[in-house]
């Protein structure tokens, strides 16, 4: 185990020297041209207008995207934006290039940035209009969409353009929808135009329509369809126009790049693949170049964290797909839909979802792979108590699990023998929520699969694995019984990877969080000092208007002042900065305390600016801290859910934090743009930082900024 030296201090490099290092990258961010944590890169941004030869020489393909349309939502099936990203990555791999995602502040900046040489390719669900064709060259279509008039559910009086008299249609001025709207207004002058700021993305516009902040809007059908997959408060009133091509854009003089893209896309035939079920074996899958993987949105399988798609099953499946030069399409059904049934119906090629043996009816139609993981039913108890050590110690205790749990039958047999009470938990609760109810004392004990218990105990210390019941059960992937070639390929892959280097790395990443390793040294503050890094924190906190004591409280929560700390997702150092974030800032040595503090504070400031300026000072801070922990998108989802539940979406404590806890429930996660969220973690994170910050204030005095409110919400 690596020894960590808590006595490490900042290097002698001055703040001025570090500022000189940061200024070029921060200037680029300041002009809206870069987003934190969103790409892969080995060099800072640059200007170059070359063709494919120059791109190959540098080894990176710079791809322009709008700031808010990065991977900031959870793809649940065929998703046009995710498909474009996967296509770009596949093209780049074929050319021996590394994709480098450049996020601009507004869609109106895409073509100017391309023409100025700040990127090589626009891949952003861009409609190939005549006006745009006069400026750039478009590839063959990657898809098609038609413009639709969208309103909220219940607004049933709109059937055609004539019904828009007196209504306000909200669109971004630079969008192709503006031209469509002007054509409608030429025929129906009573229609009003409402301008939406360029930085507001389509999903947010649709949300504002659904919540009556905007009247109606025009949007592309593919994006509307994606929104309707997780919300039911919108309605398509009518189509505004015919299908139009969605394509990628390059500079008109980039002829070789355009030819290479067109050849690649023509072979791919993206637009015709996904309309019908498919049952073919590996040969047919290779022809369509897409592997459809059925899974669940959960912390053990597939989820979104700080804008990154993650999950043990997801990473294994992605590695398998890339080994066969396939693009991965994740299909997440609704909770009531059965994964194996969908596989048999041809709506996916492979189930990768911690699957135990299916029932006898299903087993006749599917084939299971060799095992790749083993889990055992595990009793979960509160920490700090004398937990049961044997089945006999369960006498007189009460165990809560769902009646449809795979452990119910086992527990029903054991209760007669060992004298414990077995209670059915509500069907709406998943295993993680039931564990949380054990932690707070609502339930006595529960039983969950060991891998779920492992995940929960990587971030919470109020529960423990108390007893394993029965032998470990193998988990496997499933394919249709009529696909022996795919099964053989899966078996070869899993046999090779099981307990190999890649497998062990991602297993430790999800089930053995290194942040839980016991630290052997504790920093003891001297009089008037909170940490060894107070001077550095003061310098960088003041640049962004933060109280330095709040940042010190955050550093303790992130790393306990350990400059070598590393998270399950690869975040590094005192403020647990992701390497992709550091790359955007031109920094390489995240273990360096000053560079890490500078990057983390800059990122926290960027997050704070994404919340409404009208919010009270401290509410913006709590929202920003929660977003630092779990991602901006999940906080947006929690605010939307809070409003639906009659809570105040502008207050964190006692309001949005309550909604955040609910995002782990399937009925709420499936209606959230960003899907499942382990909501207890950001709730705990913000509360711990506030509590420690208040103790710092009591020790060192009050801040210059308004003091936080100290009301205590009952969760």
- Separation between Cα atoms, residue 584 and residue 556, nearest integer Å: 25
Give the Cβ contact number of residue 119 at 10 Å. 28
Among residues 313, 329, 558, 619, which one is catalytic? Answer: 558
User: How do beta strands 398-402 and 421-425 pair?
Assistant: parallel
Residues of the chain by 3-state class (helix, strand, coil), percent to 5: 45, 20, 40
DSSP result, 310-343: E-HHHHHHHHHHHHTT-EEEEE---TTS-HHHHH
- Find, among 24, 21, 62, 20, the residue nearest to 41 by Cα: 62
Q: Which residues contact 189 (CB under 8 A, 6 or more apart)?
A: none
Residues forming beta bridges with residue 447, ordered by sequence position: 379
DSSP result, 472-491: -EEEEEEEETT-HHHHHHHH
Measure Cα distances from 422 to 405, 468, 517 in Å.
12, 17, 34
Q: In this structure, are residues 296 and 336 in contact, taking their beta carbons and an 8 Å threshold?
A: no
Query: 């007189």: which residue's tokens?
Result: 396
- Find, among 629, 637, 636, 622, the residue nearest to 600 by Cα: 629
- Separation between Cα atoms, residue 560 and residue 554, nearest integer Å: 9
Give the Cβ contact number of residue 521 at 10 Å. 13
- Separation between Cα atoms, residue 702 and residue 705, nearest integer Å: 9
Give the phi and the psi of residue 176 in degrees, each rounded to 5: -65, -20
Q: Could you tell me where the beta strands, DSSP code E, fall in 52-167?
A: 60-66, 98-104, 121-127, 137-138, 143-152
Hey, what are 688's tokens?
């711990």
Q: Quote the DSSP letter at residue 71.
A: S
How far is C-alpha 16 from the chain's CA centre? 35
The Cα diameter of the chain in Å comes to 81
Give the phi and the psi of residue 550 in degrees, each rounded to 5: -65, -40
Roughly how many angstroms between the first and final C-alpha of the chain, as a whole number?
Answer: 38
Look up 558 and say whether it is catalytic.
yes
Give the phi and the psi of residue 345 in degrees, each rounded to 5: -80, 0
Q: Quote the DSSP letter at residue 656.
A: I
DSSP result, 667-691: HHHTTSTT----THHHHHHHHHHHH
DSSP result, 143-154: EEEEEEEEEETT
CB burial of residue 591 (10 Å; 0-12, 13-18, 19+): middle
Residues labelled as active-site residues:
558
């Amino acid at each position: 185990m690596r020894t960590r030296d808590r006595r490490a201090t900042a290097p002698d490099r001055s703040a001025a020297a570090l500022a000189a290092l940061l200024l070029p990258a921060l200037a680029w961010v300041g002009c809206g041209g870069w987003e934190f944590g969103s790409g892969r890169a080995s060099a800072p941004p640059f200007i170059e207008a070359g063709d494919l030869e120059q791109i190959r020489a540098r080894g990176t393909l710079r791809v322009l995207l709008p700031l808010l349309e990065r991977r900031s939502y959870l793809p649940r099936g065929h998703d046009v934006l995710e498909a474009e990203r996967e296509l770009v990555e596949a093209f780049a791999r074929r050319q021996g290039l590394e994709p480098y995602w450049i996020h601009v502040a507004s869609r109106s900046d895409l073509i100017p940035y391309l023409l100025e040489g700040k990127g090589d390719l626009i891949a952003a669900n861009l409609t190939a209009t005549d006006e745009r064709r006069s400026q750039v060259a478009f590839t063959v279509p990657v898809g098609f969409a038609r413009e639709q008039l969208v309103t909220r559910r219940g607004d049933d009086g709109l059937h055609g353009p004539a019904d828009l008299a007196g209504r306000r249609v909200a669109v971004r001025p630079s969008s192709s929808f503006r031209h469509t709207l002007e054509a409608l207004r030429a025929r129906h002058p009573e229609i009003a135009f409402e301008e939406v700021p360029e930085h507001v993305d389509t999903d947010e516009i649709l949300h504002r329509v659904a919540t009556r902040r905007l009247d109606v809007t025009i949007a592309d059908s593919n994006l509307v369809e994606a929104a309707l997959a997780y919300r039911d408060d919108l309605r398509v009133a009518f189509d505004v126009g015919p299908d139009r091509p969605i394509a990628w854009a390059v500079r008109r003089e980039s002829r070789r790049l355009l030819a290479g893209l067109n050849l690649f896309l023509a072979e791919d035939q993206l637009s015709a693949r996904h309309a019908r079920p498919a049952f073919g074996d590996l040969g047919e899958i290779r022809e369509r170049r897409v592997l459809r993987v059925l899974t669940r949105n959960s912390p053990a399988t597939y989820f979104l964290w700080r804008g990154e798609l993650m999950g043990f099953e997801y990473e294994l499946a992605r590695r398998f797909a890339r080994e066969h030069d396939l693009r991965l399409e994740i299909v997440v059904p609704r909770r009531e839909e059965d994964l194996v049934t969908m596989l048999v119906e041809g709506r996916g090629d492979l189930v990768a979802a911690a699957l135990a043996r299916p029932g006898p009816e299903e087993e006749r139609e599917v084939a299971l792979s060799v095992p790749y993981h083993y889990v055992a039913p595990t009793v979960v108890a509160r920490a700090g108590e004398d937990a049961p050590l044997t089945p006999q110690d369960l006498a007189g205790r009460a165990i809560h699990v769902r009646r449809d749990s795979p452990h119910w039958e086992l527990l029903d047999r054991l209760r007669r023998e060992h004298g414990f009470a077995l209670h059915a938990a509500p069907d709406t609760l998943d295993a993680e929520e039931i564990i949380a109810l054990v932690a707070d004392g609502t339930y006595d004990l529960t039983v969950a699969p060991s891998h779920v218990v492992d995940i929960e105990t990587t971030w919470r210390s109020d529960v423990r694995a108390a007893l394993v019941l029965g032998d470990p059960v193998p988990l496997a992937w499933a394919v249709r019984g009529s696909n022996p070639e795919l099964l053989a390929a899966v078996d070869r892959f899993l046999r090779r990877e099981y307990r190999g280097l890649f497998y062990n790395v991602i297993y430790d990443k999800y089930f053995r969080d290194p942040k839980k390793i016991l630290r052997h040294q504790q920093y003891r503050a001297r009089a008037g000092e909170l940490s060894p890094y107070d001077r550095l924190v003061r310098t960088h906190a003041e640049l962004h208007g933060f109280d330095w004591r709040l940042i010190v409280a955050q550093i303790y929560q992130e790393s306990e002042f350990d400059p070598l700390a590393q998270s399950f997702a690869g975040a590094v150092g005192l403020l647990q900065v992701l390497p992709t974030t550091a790359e955007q800032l031109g920094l390489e040595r995240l273990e360096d305390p000053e560079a890490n503090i500078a990057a983390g504070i800059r990122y926290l400031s960027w997050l704070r600016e994404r919340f409404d300026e009208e919010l009270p000072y401290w509410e913006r801070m709590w929202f920003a801290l929660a977003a630092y922990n779990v991602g901006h998108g999940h906080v947006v989802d929690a605010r939307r859910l809070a409003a639906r539940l009659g809570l105040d979406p502008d207050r964190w404590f006692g309001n949005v934090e309550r909604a955040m806890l609910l995002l782990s429930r399937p009925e709420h996660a499936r209606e959230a743009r960003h899907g499942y969220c382990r909501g207890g973690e950001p709730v705990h994170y913000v509360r711990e930082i506030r509590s420690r910050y208040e103790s710092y204030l009591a020790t060192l005095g009050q801040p210059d900024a308004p003091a936080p409110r100290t009301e205590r919400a009952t969760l």
